[in-house]
Amino acid sequence: MVAEIRFCSPLGKWWFLSPYAEFPIQMNVDGKFYTFPTVEHYYQAMKFHATDARFQTILSLKNPDDARLLTKKPEYKINRRLDFDENKYTIMEAGLYAKFTQNPEAAEMLKATGDAVLIKSCTVCYKCGFGEGSGHNRMGKILMKIREELSNI
């Protein structure tokens, strides 16, 4: 078994670890259930209330990177959920947890990583990933926590 697994994009052997990997999740947002094509769609949409047209636009996009890039536009930077920034890591964890508990195939692939250290190794991502060696690797830590929980079921 490999000691560490580095992942970033939904390509290659470890594609399923990416929040861009196409595993739909169903989440309760503002009292109503919505189906998101990927965890990335969920994360980006959560910057807005479900009644906001921007939420619906993000939900309708096919490509998760389009959802991420859309929220960089000026009109998507205003009037966001007031609590998003303080809850963004909880939101990410909830989305990832849903991905692996709602998609048995994804859960089996995650469990098959054994005890390897999971590292989101994107050079520009320091908070969720490892960056160039100085990041927090929050996503990798969340995935290892979920893997442990799934292995104990």
Please list, in sequence order, all residues whose beta carbon lies within 8 angstroms of the beta carbon of residue 61, skipping any fewer than 6 positions away: 41, 67, 70
Q: Quick check: 113 and 5 in contact, CB under 8 A?
A: yes
- CATH superfamily membership of 4-151: YbiA-like (1.10.357.40)
pLDDT, tens digit (0-9, with 9 covering 90-100), for 101-126: 999 999 999 999 999 999 887 765 54
Domain boundaries, the chain: 4-151
- Report, as an integer, the average pLDDT of 122-142: 65
Q: By three-state DSSP, how is residue 25 classified?
A: strand
pLDDT grade, residue 46 (50/70/90)? very high
Residue 144 has pLDDT above 60, yes or no: yes
Please list, in sequence order, all residues whose beta carbon lies within 8 angstroms of the beta carbon of residue 49, skipping any fewer than 6 positions away: 30, 55, 81
CA separation for the pair 69, 73 (Å, rounded): 7
What is the pLDDT at residue 125? 57
Q: Supply the pTM of this predicted model.
A: 0.91
Which letter, b or e, does each residue of 64-84 get, where b requires 16 or more Cβ atoms within 10 Å of its Cβ?
beebbeebeeeebeeebbeee
Residue 89 has pLDDT above 60, yes or no: yes
